[in-house]
Chain A
Amino acid sequence: MEKVKLTIDQKAVEVPKGTTILKAARTVGIEIPTLCYMHLEDLNIEHKPGGCRVCVVEVQGRKNLAPSCATEVSEGMIVNTHSIRVLNARKTVLELILSDHPKDCLICPKSGNCELQDLAIKMGIREIPYQDIAEMSTYRTDFSPAIIRDMNKCIMCRRCETMCNEFQTVGALSAINRGFMSVVAPAFEMDLEDSVCTYCGQCVAVCPTGALTEVDHTNRLIRDLANPAKTVIVQTAPAVRAALGEMFDLEPGTLVTGKMVAALRRLGFKYVFDTDFAADLTILEEGSELLDRLTRHLNGDKSVKLPILTSCCPGWVNFFESQFTDLLDIPSTARSPQQMFGSIAKTYFADKIDVKREDLIVVSIMPCLAKKYECTRDEFKVNGNPDVDYSISTRELGNLIKQANIDFHSLPDEEFDLPLGESTGAGVIFGATGGVIEAAVRTAYELFTKKTLDSVDFNELRGMDGIREATIDFAGTPINIGIAHGLGRARKLLEDIRNGKSHYHAIEIMACPGGCIGGGGQPLHHGNFEILKKRMEAIYREDQNKPIRKSHENPYIIKLYEEFLGKPLSDKSHKLLHTHYVDKRKKIIYI
């Protein structure tokens, strides 16, 4: 590859032709500040609108300052990244951005994690000269069940737009209007709730300011925990244990299952349970559904729809309910583990401990923002009382533990409570892309072939590639499996199904990069896939360490069927553990 030689801040640099000044500077340890720029290397997304001008540098012989994120190097170029002219311009740019930005940093949900705030600190901004003449924006704040849009804090970096349109292909957000009036919004500035938004939360994960944040249920939780009339129980999703440690400066990939359980107990939860238990339950229901469809298909029943699609991921469910409404009969009808847990907790378990449904509060800790919405769906309520009362994110839990003066590092490792805290390795791997289908294969194989697996590790289903496929030999019957993470990739698989070109029997979809480990409610990874890979390794390590690794061997699941449900796909199972999907396009209204 052709190389280019140049000088940056008097350092000689040699980089391949086509490299930007920003990246060339990084190769010699010079970090030029940026704001709108975003590079998610492993997702192949480089967002460089060149709009904020924070990254400007001086190039000798060039009249204007150059945005380093969008300017390619050339032979013999002499670049200065911190001349007085550059520093003045950078400061002015920042002062202009700040001039109409709300000054409520002290109470902003992004405070401490805000890239604009970081820059103001770095540049030593002590006054904002233009604010007297700057007109403040007065957009209404848009509250949805999962995401809050406070567009007064939008700096038009448009990163959210890139995630929503290019990576997820959801298309809920776009820049609208022009000049001072421009802002990122759904079509016709309708509420996010009425738009095609899936609540995947990837926009929140990349927003540099407090413009996009999650709905925070922390205070509600504190109030409920203090109420003696309520029994408050909690379930924790598999991906949380692989990332929560990062909130306490532990290395990414540190498993903190035991400490997390201990912390939840100290916060005051009466019972600390595991969503992994419900994941095992999901496998029995979804796996049985797969086997049922598969057996009928193999016996020549032409009415059977294949492939079967997983239905654990609420962002994914929202996606096909609004964009693939012609395929609503293909996904599994099994509810997600979060909802299966809630349903069992408020029937089977509530009876066991003799607590009325209304007095039992079920809270979930999720790596996800769409889960906040999922538990508000009417299908998951009984007489208006939700199966899961509300969901809080990994980030919210981390902050709550800090608020409660709990020294996370010195906590002992504690065990989940029984019976809804017992889980197998198959339940744990739900947290990573490929994990749900691997868990399903472990059970479906044994139920289908009546043989015991030699090894439960299906490495061909694991990994970080966006779309993966594998054929698993079910004792002579080849089963074709497809996997996608990220809704843009899912769209490709769905379009194949729509066009009759899909050869899969089963497909697993997760909306976020890497699966739940990269969810919109996780500690921010800033596009660093090394962090996601470490979280993924942690998930598989937890699976490896489990004495039982197949869902159908979970003794408390077996007991649940014996005492309560009967068998998978029974009438009771259908009522409590399955759902139906709705055509969301009908909901679209114009304001």
Chain B
Amino acid sequence: MSGIKVELKKKDADTIKEICASFDNKQDDLINVLHKVQQSFGYLPAEIQEVVANELNIPLAQVYGVVTFYSFFTMVPKGRHPISICTGTACYVRGAENVLSEFKKELKIEVGQTTADGRFSISCLRCVGACGLAPVVMVGDKTYGRVSPEMVKDIIKEYEDQ
């Protein structure tokens, strides 16, 4: 996070307020509100959480507590091509760990981070229901099966101009 407070555009603040209003600004719906807001903005930076806290009349610290508790919520914007590596049991035993480290090495980022050019981000997930193809990697909506560390460079290359 930067040291400067980013002001939200009025339009964006209004979108968040509308989402909160669609749940009648109910405190109990905090998680649902955060879901919707993340759907709209892709992530939940501090200034967005502040608007949600104000609208639902919940202390900002508690909103942040919920955002950091659930791994689904993220405060970092995902890349244009989000890479998800399955580390479910089947993929794991077939070498997902090595595939993951290859992605980290190639892109020079850790899990949960986004490359400086905003192109790629890495996350892990557990099982996409394609265990026969293990280890499985998803880039955006596209699925890659039986991925080996050697294939990683080529996969990244496919998206480099986009």
Contact = CB atoms under 8 A, between A and B. Distances in A.
Answer whether A and B are interacting partners: yes
Interface of A: 165, 170-178, 182, 185-188, 195-196, 588-591
B145 interface: no
Interface residues of B, number: 19
Nearest to A589: B5
25 contacts: A171-B58, A171-B60, A171-B61, A172-B59, A173-B61, A174-B59, A174-B65, A175-B69, A176-B65, A177-B68, A177-B69, A178-B69, A182-B69, A185-B61, A186-B61, A187-B49, A187-B60, A187-B61, A187-B64, A588-B5, A589-B3, A589-B4, A590-B5, A590-B6, A591-B1
A176 B5 contact: no
A283 to B, nearest CB: 35
Given A170-B59, A177-B69, 19 more contacts: A171-B58, A171-B60, A171-B61, A174-B65, A176-B61, A176-B64, A176-B69, A186-B61, A187-B46, A187-B49, A187-B60, A188-B46, A196-B59, A588-B5, A589-B3, A589-B5, A590-B2, A590-B5, A591-B1
Interface of B: 1-6, 46-47, 49, 58-65, 68-69
Nearest to B59: A171
Contacts, number: 57
Given A176-B69, A177-B68, A188-B1, A171 B62 contact: yes
B28 to A, nearest CB: 16
B1 A165 contact: no
A178 B61 contact: no
Contact of B59 (A165, A177, A188, A589): A165
A174 B61 contact: yes
Nearest to A197: B61
Nearest to A165: B59
A198 B7 CA distance: 25
Residue from B5, B6, B47 with most neighbouring chain A CB atoms (10 Å): B5
A139 to B, nearest CB: 14
B3 A591 contact: yes
A195 B62 CA distance: 13
A225 B62 CA distance: 44
A49 to B, nearest CB: 14
A186 B59 CA distance: 10
A167 to B, nearest CB: 13
A188 B5 contact: no
A161 to B, nearest CB: 9
B65 A590 contact: no
Contacts of A176: 61, 64-65, 68-69
A195 B64 CA distance: 13
A187 B64 CA distance: 6
A178 B66 CA distance: 10
A590 B1 contact: yes
Contacts of A165: 59, 62
Contacts of B69: 175-178, 182
Contacts of B1: 188, 590-591
B38 to A, nearest CB: 17
Contacts of B3: 589-591
B5 A172 contact: no
A588 B46 CA distance: 11
